[in-house]
Amino acid sequence: MRLVKSLLLNLQFFTVLPVRKEFSLGKSEMRWMVRTFPILGLLIGMFLSSGYVLLASFTPMSSLALSFYIWVMPILLTGGIHLDGYMDASDAYFSYRDLKKRLEIMKDPRIGAFGALSLVVLLSSRFLFIYESVHYSNTAVICLILLSIPIFSRILMGVSLILIPAAHNSGMGYSFSKDTKWNDVLWMLASLIGIIVTGVFLNSLFLYAAFTIVTVGFCLFVYSKSIKWFGGMTGDTVGASVEGVESILWMTIWLLLSFDMV
């Protein structure tokens, strides 16, 4: 029951899916929400991959149209919640101000020029990676990618909330992190191991191993730079890390396909 409740709460918080039921939200619920982030990623991945299979199998959609589906659907499904954090974090970073001013900029609901330009660069480069990946690979490979990337990004989101100190004592990021403990990261590690084992059975160990290395490396980068640039973790930096790692994972598969390594 606790697992189902936490998943429904995650769907309410991080997707636009109509979960109408009201739940109490205490320390236990917040902690279990973080623990089940990888399962949230799996559900998102299943939604994306099943839609892709239907479109690729039963419609005459071109590679360009299928790429657009893969590109736009995660934005629609999440309501752009992580992109909003990415733009706020970009505005704060490129202001080149002190830590206090950067945190103030991230609290500002308005989007500045740097946030808008960063969004254009992120989404345009991601579309390039998606299009060429779709064009040069088969449906099975794309399905594996669509299933796995949301899981890896939600694992990173959970690790960031658990391990990175909060920059201030307010906001959504702090609300999640204050109710977690360091040993909750074991849930993220168990999910990571589960993905690698799945890769063995699906004969995709190399792909998942590459994704794991990239995600761990990016996690270390996020840990270091969140503290250096912003004084710690905020909800916006966590959202930015989700968008960043998903783009880098698409770039990874694009590079692997370019060199015929998958």
**Owner of token pair 């902690």:** 31
pLDDT at 75 over 90: yes
- Predicted local distance difference test score (pLDDT) of residue 262: 67
Assign 181 a pLDDT band (cuts: 50, 70, 90).
confident
Burial class (CB in 10 A: 0-12, 13-18, 19+), 228: exposed
Phi, psi of 79 (to 5 degrees): 70, 15
Sign of the alpha-carbon torsion through 84, 86, 87, 92: positive
- Higher-pLDDT residue of 107 and 72 is 72
243-261 residues labelled b (16+ CB within 10 A) or e (exposed)? bbbbbbbbbbbbebbeeee
Residue-averaged pLDDT of the chain: 91
| pTM assigned to the model | 0.94
Q: Out of 44-53, 143-152, 175-184, 244-253, which region has the weakest mean confidence (pLDDT)?
A: 175-184
How distant, in Å, are the alpha carbons of 37, 143, 216 from that of 192? Answer: 12, 18, 10
pLDDT at 170 over 80: no
**What DSSP assignment string belongs to 109-147?**
SS--HHHHHHHHHHHHHHHHHHHHHHHTS-HHHHHHHHH
pLDDT at 171 over 80: no
- Predicted local distance difference test score (pLDDT) of residue 30: 87
- Predicted local distance difference test score (pLDDT) of residue 18: 84
Distance CA 16, CA 9 (A): 12
Residues whose CB falls within 8 Å of the CB of residue 117, separated by 6 or more in sequence, listed in order: 90
pLDDT single digits (tens) 92-147: 999 888 888 999 899 888 888 999 999 999 999 999 999 999 998 888 899 999 99
pLDDT at 61 over 70: yes
Assign 225 a pLDDT band (cuts: 50, 70, 90).
very high
CA angle (45 as vertex; 225, 182 as ends), nearest 5: 40
pLDDT single digits (tens) 232-248: 999 999 999 999 999 99
